[in-house]
Amino acid sequence: MSATPSRHRLHPLLFEDVVRAALREDLGRAGDLTTEATIPPDLEAEAHVVAREAGVAAGLDVAAYAFSFYDPRCAVELAVPDGARVGAGDRLATVRGPAASILTAERCALNLLGRMCGIASLTRQVVDSLDGTNAHVVCTRKTTPGLRALEKYSVRIGGGANHRFGLDDAVLIKDNHIGLCGGVRAALDAVRGRVGHLVKIEIEVDTPAQLAEVLAHGGADVVLLDNFGLDQLAAAVSSVAGRMVTEASGGITPERARAVAETGVDLLSLGWLTHSPRSLDVGLDL
């Protein structure tokens, strides 16, 4: 087990509604029928949250909150910080309190924890594969509705960085915007005349010709090179020559990520970090 404390922390205000909704969904209209029928209400228990496989811990505060929110008598002691690399069988946390409450909140806590650990583990895998390059891994808005703050946090825990959080914190002019607006120059002019000076502007290009238009205009801070081949990416980075941040996107698999990074791009944008992760297998042992 490697414990690397995380500099990131999610305030409960960012996830308490998620936990509340998840518990409400699980309890349904009649509560936990099984536990209420089988477990005495005064029975106390101690349980360990355990990793069933190797990965990166993320979301432990969220899981702990699920237990304590359902029943404040549940006390959770974290064994590792978010960001720690854990192995199969490693204890992540200990929960003490009424056995019935621990069992009722278990699935909500583990569902959120497993997904967040899965995203962090996948991100860490890609970040590690880029060691020695100058490229950074970023996620996208392809997140599970309602879970964006948690999923983007998990990317950060895995060593990646976040793209925009929503439609309101940066401009990203995509191919449909360009087509409907009348071209690259028209789109850049429209945006620059509308947004404030602190708002970053990124534009997506599909061809070297579009990139040349962007460079001639000079109205963007970041250029998104969408579905460029490796040779095209290298040529694009050379032509940009540091005047803008370069971001590669489209068809970047874990196997291809390092080759893309070696073209010299600044960012690798990977939607599958949040839309297609496999949850890490975590369990609760009483």
Catalytic residue among 32, 204, 247, 266: 204
Catalytic residue among 96, 107, 164, 185: 107
Q: Hey, how many other C-beta atoms are within 10 angstroms of the C-beta on 207?
A: 13
Active-site annotation holds for 204 = yes
Catalytic residue among 20, 142, 192, 200: 142
Are 229 and 208 in contact, with CB atoms under 8 Å apart?
Answer: no
Active-site annotation holds for 226 = yes
Let me know if 62 is exposed, middle or buried by CB neighbors in 10 A (0-12, 13-18, 19+).
buried
For Cα atoms 114, 158, 68, give the angle at the middle one, nearest 5 degrees: 40
Enter the tokens of residue 23: 């518990």
For Cα atoms 52, 275, 237, give the angle at the middle one, nearest 5 degrees: 115
Catalytic residue among 96, 164, 174, 258: 174
Catalytic residue among 90, 202, 226, 247: 226
Tabulate helix, strand, coil % of the chain (nearest 5): 40, 20, 40
Active-site annotation holds for 52 = no
Active-site annotation holds for 262 = no
Active site residues: 107, 142, 174, 204, 226
